[in-house]
Amino acid sequence: KNEVEQSPQNLTAQEGEFITINCSYSVGISALHWLQQHPGGGIVSLFMLSSGKKKHGRLIATINIQEKHSSLHITASHPRDSAVYICAVRETSGSRLTFGEGTQLTVNP
Amino acid sequence: GAVVSQHPSRVICKSGTSVKIECRSLDFQATTMFWYRQFPKQSLMLMATSNEGSKATYEQGVEKDKFLINHASLTLSTLTVTSAHPEDSSFYICSARDPRLTSGRPSETQYFGPGTRLLVL
């Protein structure tokens, strides 16, 4: 069992739809990251969370430390949101990140 | 915001040659940088943690003599793939941890470079 699991693996949506990507982890963490990787490969850090909720534009990230679960929401999705979204956790024991397998999101016009 | 650059962005080389990839933090000093590799359709795999002024810490299964890491300054870490073979073809990504304080606490933010795509023929 992976320490970080994401669901779904693949997600196709129509433009304008509300999207949710989930991340569950099994270790104690000091922070959780949501990353976006576009087809060219470059990675952008979207959020870093240790508790509660953060919002940036159309993106919202939440985390429930007790349940070891985080969600990334995209409101009013757009084709340019098409990318791989990766959840990564920083374990309390160190500085390394452990990555989920990623969720491939495709938003069709 | 902080920016991490990598050079080159893409490299094609012959089998047996060595390739050096640079990772630079452009507007902050990174005491710790991380090197990852990513195969198609897979997530990032940590190869090593690079600390300025000391030897890199390699993950299990990563050959130290094959993947040489040098973190000679607070803004530059290099990864050299020695005697590259086709199976080393991959996407190599670095990240740098921003050590600056945020709200009085150490930041845990990592900034990722754009990646280097290596193709060994």
Which residue did the predictor score with more confidence, B69 or A91?
B69
Average pLDDT of span A60-82: 96
Nearest neighbour of B93 by CB, restricted to A43, A90, A100: A43
Q: Say yes or no: A46 contacts chain B, CB-CB below 8 A.
A: no
Average pLDDT of span A60-68: 95
Alpha carbon distance A46, A33 (integer Å): 7
B119 — pLDDT class (breaks 50, 70, 90): very high
Average pLDDT of span A74-79: 96
Q: Say yes or no: B112 contacts chain A, CB-CB below 8 A.
A: yes
CB contact at 8 A, B70 and B87: no
Q: Say yes or no: B99 contacts chain A, CB-CB below 8 A.
A: no
Residue B17 C-alpha, separation from nearest chain A C-alpha, in angstroms: 24
Residue B115 C-alpha, separation from nearest chain A C-alpha, in angstroms: 6
Using CA of residue A20, residue A22, residue A28, residue A30, what is the dihedral sign? negative
Beta bridge partners of B43: none
* pLDDT at residue number B53: 82
* pLDDT at residue number B11: 96
Buried-exposed string A13-41: b where 16+ CB fall within 10 A, e elsewhere? beeeeebebebbbeeebebbbbbbbeeeb
What are the tokens at A99? 């990555």
Interface touch A101/B43, C-beta < 8 Å: yes
- For B60-115, what is each residue's pLDDT tens digit? 999 999 999 998 888 999 999 999 999 999 999 999 988 776 666 566 678 899 99
Give the three-class secondary structure for B9: coil
* pLDDT at residue number A12: 97
- For B19-73, what is each residue's pLDDT tens digit? 999 999 998 888 889 999 998 888 899 999 998 888 899 999 999 999 999 988 8
Alpha carbon distance B75, B4 (integer Å): 9
Interface touch A43/B42, C-beta < 8 Å: no
